[in-house]
């Protein structure tokens, strides 16, 4: 589907709500802004296959440009506002963007980046809207479907653009997320969806646009706050929302009275992804909100998707589901397919295609000789085809010849009441090659030091055994995370390697 039919049949239906500013955008207004933007893009010379870039906070103007690009056959490259000017300039150059639209607030950052990205025309959000206002609200004559080309976070070097082929079908051709949203989560015209994360990331942007395709209302948080999220669920009668496990941890660590006083009875489905969720955390969310907690596993590449419901997860705690897009394959280091229960590299067969823009070597590394694609994760499937992830291959610690996956250790330590956040990495060790280090942000009011390290070591040893127990603890006020909650572990690994 597509937002246009809803603009024609019910122009006043709310498409967007931004509670922090009180702004509401109707489907009629969204359609008009997208059409005006499409005419402006054509006037600026943008043709099918070109790239338009965004550098924007969570604000409504994102969708003016995103839906204009979608109906003019363009690639939309949304850039993280947390990057420095050098990385932004690199993405502008690498993507071949013709145009950058940025938030008014980010004008200084954009100007600095543009000095190293010659030939890119730029508009702040206010200028974009005022310039587009003079163009028609009717569709351009040569409409065609566009898509996104989003960049990785760059935690393993320069960010890489994930480039799918441009859609060849009509504007309203069904997308994989539409199919998931309707079939698995009951999304539709009556959906009121809470967007909890920065819209420059793949999943938040794609889910918000999926809700527009289905005719629902998107309620946008400018930034995540656990207490505010609960308040919005109650006041806007939220039916659906997407989260990352870090959001769940923060929700669960609110005072019991703060959690109890908010009504969440409107929720029909809450969906989490982006990182493995510790089993106790997910169990606690199901206990609190009921069996409406869904999970899926995928990536910006979207070469495949697995998903499962609360009921399926309760029967198989720790699973990330069965394939709903593509087919899951688990391979050994020689590329041979492994049987159920055996751990290996996770691939998707028969999923959507993609390349890493301007990086044929990385593209080749992500695919095997049969064209199956991997996101770099390790795991196994059970006899019924449910996938269990172990960790990312690149984060594996080899200590004394033993393979240790830090995700298991992190998932356990974060459940300790004195731990607010944790990252586990391997650091060089003269005898063992590597040893396990836990970098911990203590909970508020908890003193760090040897006593806490001893307590956490005993807590880990009791559940995980001595081999997986961190040999050392370091305490910090913050850990490097994306605003979505994704842990930027590579920064920590590189830091400790440089010591």
Which pLDDT value is given to residue 164? 95
Cα–Cα dist 167/212, whole Å: 18
Which pLDDT value is given to residue 404? 81
**Alpha-carbon 245 to chain mean position:** 11
494 phi/psi in degrees, rounded to 5:
-65, -40
Which pLDDT value is given to residue 178? 96
What CATH class has 3-173? Answer: alpha beta
Cα–Cα dist 264/6, whole Å: 28
pLDDT at 408 over 90: no
Which structure tokens are listed for 166? 């441009």
Closest CA to 101 of 62, 132, 148, 75: 62
Lowest mean pLDDT segment, chosen from 105-109, 131-135, 228-232, 415-419: 415-419
What CATH class has 396-497? Answer: alpha beta
Which pLDDT value is given to residue 392? 74
Do 3-173 and 396-497 come out as alike in CATH topology?
no
Length of the chain: 499
Which pLDDT value is given to residue 102? 98
DSSP state of 437: E
Which pLDDT value is given to residue 99? 97
List, in sequence order, the alpha helices (H) in 71-116: 85-95, 107-114
Per-residue confidence band for 46, with pLDDT thresholds at 50, 70 and 90: very high
Cα–Cα dist 244/201, whole Å: 12
pTM of the entire predicted model: 0.83
pLDDT at 496 over 90: no
Average pLDDT of the chain is 92
Cross-strand bridge partners of residue 144 = 72
Which pLDDT value is given to residue 277? 83
Cα–Cα dist 343/382, whole Å: 10
* DSSP string over 317-337: TTEEEEEEESEEEEE-TTSPB
Per-residue confidence band for 138, with pLDDT thresholds at 50, 70 and 90: very high
282-322 pLDDT, tens digit each: 999 999 999 999 999 998 899 999 999 999 999 999 999 99
Cross-strand bridge partners of residue 16 = 25, 218
pLDDT at 227 over 50: yes
Given a contact cutoff of 8 angstroms between Cβ atoms, the answer to whether 241 and 228 are in contact is no
pLDDT at 155 over 50: no
424-478 pLDDT, tens digit each: 988 877 667 778 999 999 998 999 999 999 999 999 988 888 888 999 999 999 9
Lowest mean pLDDT segment, chosen from 56-70, 91-105, 150-164, 256-270: 150-164
31 phi/psi in degrees, rounded to 5:
-65, -45
**Residue 188 neighbours by CB distance under 10 Å:** 15
Which pLDDT value is given to residue 156? 46
Q: Where do the structural domains in the chain lie, given as residue ranges?
A: 3-173, 396-497
Average pLDDT over residues 416-430: 87
Average pLDDT over residues 222-227: 94
Lowest mean pLDDT segment, chosen from 167-181, 197-211, 348-362, 456-470: 456-470
Q: Which residue has the higher pLDDT, 465 or 343?
A: 343
Given a contact cutoff of 8 angstroms between Cβ atoms, the answer to whether 40 and 98 are in contact is no
């Amino acid at each position: 589907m597509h937002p246009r039919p809803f603009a024609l049949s019910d122009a006043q239906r709310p498409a967007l709500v931004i509670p922090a500013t009180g702004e509401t955008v109707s489907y009629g207004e969204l359609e008009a802004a997208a059409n005006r933007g499409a005419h402006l893009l054509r006037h600026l010379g943008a043709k099918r296959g070109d790239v338009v870039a965004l550098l924007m906070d969570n604000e409504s103007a994102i969708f003016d440009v995103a839906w204009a690009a979608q109906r003019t056959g363009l690639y939309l490259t949304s850039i993280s506002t947390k990057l420095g000017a050098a990385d932004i300039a690199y993405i502008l150059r690498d993507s071949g963007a013709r145009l950058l639209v940025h938030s008014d607030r980010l004008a200084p950052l954009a100007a600095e980046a543009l000095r190293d990205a010659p030939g890119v025309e730029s508009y702040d959000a206010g200028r974009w809207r005022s310039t587009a206002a003079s163009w028609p609200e009717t569709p351009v004559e040569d409409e065609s479907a566009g898509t996104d080309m989003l960049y990785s976070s760059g935690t393993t070097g320069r960010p890489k653009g994930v480039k799918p082929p441009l859609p060849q079908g009509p504007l309203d051709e069904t997308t994989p997320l539409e199919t998931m949203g309707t079939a698995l989560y009951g999304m539709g015209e009556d959906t009121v969806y809470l967007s909890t994360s920065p819209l420059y990331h793949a999943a938040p942007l794609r889910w918000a646009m999926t809700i527009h395709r289905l005719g629902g209302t998107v309620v946008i948080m400018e930034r995540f706050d656990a207490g505010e999220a609960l308040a919005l669920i109650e006041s806007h009668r939220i039916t659906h929302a997407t989260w990352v496990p870090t959001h769940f941890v923060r929700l669960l660590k609110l005072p019991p009275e703060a959690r109890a006083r908010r009504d969440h009875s409107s929720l029909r489905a809450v969906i989490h992804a982006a990182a493995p969720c510790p089993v106790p955390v997910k169990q606690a969310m199901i206990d609190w909100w009921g069996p409406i907690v869904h999970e899926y596993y995928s990536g910006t590449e979207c070469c495949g998707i697995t998903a499962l419901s609360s009921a399926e997860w309760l029967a198989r705690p720790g699973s990330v589901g069965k394939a709903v897009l593509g087919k899951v394959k688990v391979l050994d280091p020689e590329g041979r397919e492994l049987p159920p229960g055996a751990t290996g590299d996770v691939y998707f067969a028969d999923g959507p295609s993609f390349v890493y823009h301007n990086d044929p070597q990385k593209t080749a590394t992500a695919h095997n000789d049969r064209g199956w694609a991997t996101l770099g994760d390790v795991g196994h499937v059970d006899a019924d085809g449910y996938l269990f992830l172990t960790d990312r291959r690149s984060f594996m610690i080899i200590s004394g010849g033993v393979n240790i996956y830090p995700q298991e250790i992190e998932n356990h330590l974060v459940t300790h009441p004195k731990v607010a956040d944790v990252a586990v990495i391997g650091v060089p060790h003269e005898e063992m090659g590597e040893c396990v280090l836990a970098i911990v942000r203590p909970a508020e009011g908890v003193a760090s030091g040897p006593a806490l390290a001893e307590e956490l070591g005993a807590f880990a040893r009791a559940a995980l055994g001595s081999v997986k127990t961190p040999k050392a603890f370091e305490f910090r006020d913050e850990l490097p995370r994306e605003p979505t909650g994704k842990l930027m572990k590579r920064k920590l690994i590189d830091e400790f390697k440089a010591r």
